[in-house]
């Protein structure tokens, strides 16, 4: 009311002033300047975290498989390769561990890598295995001689494959 009286005319606002527009643009630019990297880094961070999760999972599964195999005392399946020949790739592995328990590694139909201990008996019941890892696209294994096992694990995450390969010499083979 003071202004109105001061300029002696009725004031009706219809648009932003130039100053207001400039300030708004500046704030918007500032916002974009902040938001864009946030969005950008957020996506990158998300990807990175996903990758780290996968790497972590891959490492964990590889280590679990390696630990089971390392002290093994024999391989039952895949069969022994022909003389002097590296065996073919097979999708299941059956071996004896350091206690001569029979252990099977396979991928089930829900893409989970399962470790199944044939001697994991509780009372009259045999447990049907536990999950070592998920999102497994492929697990293949082949033999070299009597005590060397080579395996390859392929994880599929977001249509991307992560592969880990390892070779283990069983130290307790007869």
Partner 1 sequence: MKRKGSAIATAIILGTVFFIAVSALLHYSSSEMRHIKAISAVKKAELLALSGIDWAESQLRVKRWYGTEFVPYKHNKGKHDSYGTQYLTPFGEDEGSVTIICEDVANKTPGYNMYGMQKIWFLHHINVYALGEYENQKCLVYGRYIISPEPILNSTSTEGAGFESPQYGAPGAVGVSAVKTMVNGKEVTNFVVKEIKVAEHDNVNINTVVAIVNPIDDPDRNIEVRPTTFGTVAEIKAKKGQTCRAGDNLLILSKSIDAGGTSVSMKTLKKMVRVTKIPPEIWKGLDIDLINDRFAISQYISGISDAYLQNFVAHASLEKSLKNIGDEKFDNKLSASEVLSKFPVNFTSTTRNRAENTFIAYMIKNFTAPGGTWDRKEKALDETFLKLDHERTDPPQEYLDWLDNLGLTQILNTKPRLNSKFFDPKMKNDEFMNLLHPHLNQPSSEFIANLSQLPDASRFVNIQEGDFSDESPSYVENENGIHIIDPDKGVKVDVQKITKKYTFVDPESNFAIEMTDLLSFIKKYYDDDGSLPPREETRTNEFIDWPLPAPAPEPPPPAPGGNWVWIDGKPGTPPGDPTYHHRGGTDENINPPTGGTGRYEPDMPDDLDGGSKDWEIEGSPYKDGEDGGEDSDKDSGERESVKICNCNKGNCGICNPSGEKEQFTINKNTKWDVKPGTPGKDPEQGKYVWEPSRTDPSDGSDGSPGTEGNADGGADSTDDATGGSGGTDSTPGSGIDTPPAPAPTPTPTPSTPAPSYRSGSFGF
Residues 95 and 170: beta-carbon distance below 8 Å: yes
> For 23, which DSSP code?
H
Kindly state the smallest distance separating residue 89's Cβ from partner 1, in Å: 9
Find the binding residues for partner 1 in span 10-39 (CB under 8 A).
Answer: 20, 23, 27, 30-31, 34-35, 37-38
Contact (CB, 8 A) for 92 and 106: yes
Tell me the C-alpha distance between 29 and 82, whole Å.
71
Interface with partner 1: number of residues (CB under 8 A): 70
In 3D, which of 169, 166, 110 has the Cα closest to residue 136?
Answer: 110
Which stretch, 7-15, 87-95, 156-164, contacts partner 1 (CB under 8 A)? 87-95
If the CB atoms of residues 70 and 164 are measured against partner 1, the closer one turns out to be: 70
| 160 is a site residue for partner 1 (CB under 8 A) | no
Beta carbon nearer to partner 1, 4 or 47: 47
CB-based burial of residue 32 (10 Å sphere; 0-12 exposed, 13-18 middle, 19+ buried)? exposed
Q: Residues 6 or more apart from 46 whose CB is under 8 A from it?
A: none
Residues 6+ apart with CB under 8 A from 9: none
Distance CA 67, CA 168 (A): 10
Regarding 142 and contact with partner 1 (CB under 8 A), the answer is no
123 in contact with partner 1 (CB under 8 A): yes
- Interface region with partner 1, contact rule CB under 8 A, candidates 7-15, 122-130, 156-164: 122-130
Q: Which residues bind partner 1 (CB under 8 A)?
A: 20, 23, 27, 30-31, 34-35, 37-38, 41-42, 45, 48-49, 52, 56, 59, 63, 70-71, 76-79, 83-84, 88, 90-92, 94, 96, 98-102, 104, 106-112, 114, 116-131, 138-139, 144-146, 171-172, 174
């Amino acid at each position: 009311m003071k202004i109105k009286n001061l300029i002696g005319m009725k004031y009706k606002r219809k648009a932003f002033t130039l100053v207001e527009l400039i300030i708004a643009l500046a704030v918007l630019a500032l916002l974009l300047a902040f938001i864009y990297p946030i969005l950008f880094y957020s996506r990158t961070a998300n990807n990175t975290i996903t990758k780290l999760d996968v790497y972590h999972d891959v490492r964990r599964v590889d280590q679990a498989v390696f630990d089971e195999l390392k002290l093994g005392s024999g391989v039952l399946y895949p069969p022994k390769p022909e003389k002097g020949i590296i065996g073919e790739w097979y999708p299941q592995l059956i071996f004896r561990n350091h206690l001569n328990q029979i252990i099977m590694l396979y991928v089930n139909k829900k893409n989970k890598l399962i470790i199944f201990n044939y001697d994991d008996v509780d009372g009259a019941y045999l447990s049907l295995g536990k999950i070592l890892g998920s999102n497994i696209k492929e697990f293949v294994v082949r033999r070299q001689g009597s005590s060397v096992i080579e395996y390859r694990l392929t994880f599929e995450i977001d249509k991307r494959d992560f592969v880990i390969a390892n070779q283990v010499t069983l130290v307790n083979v007869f």
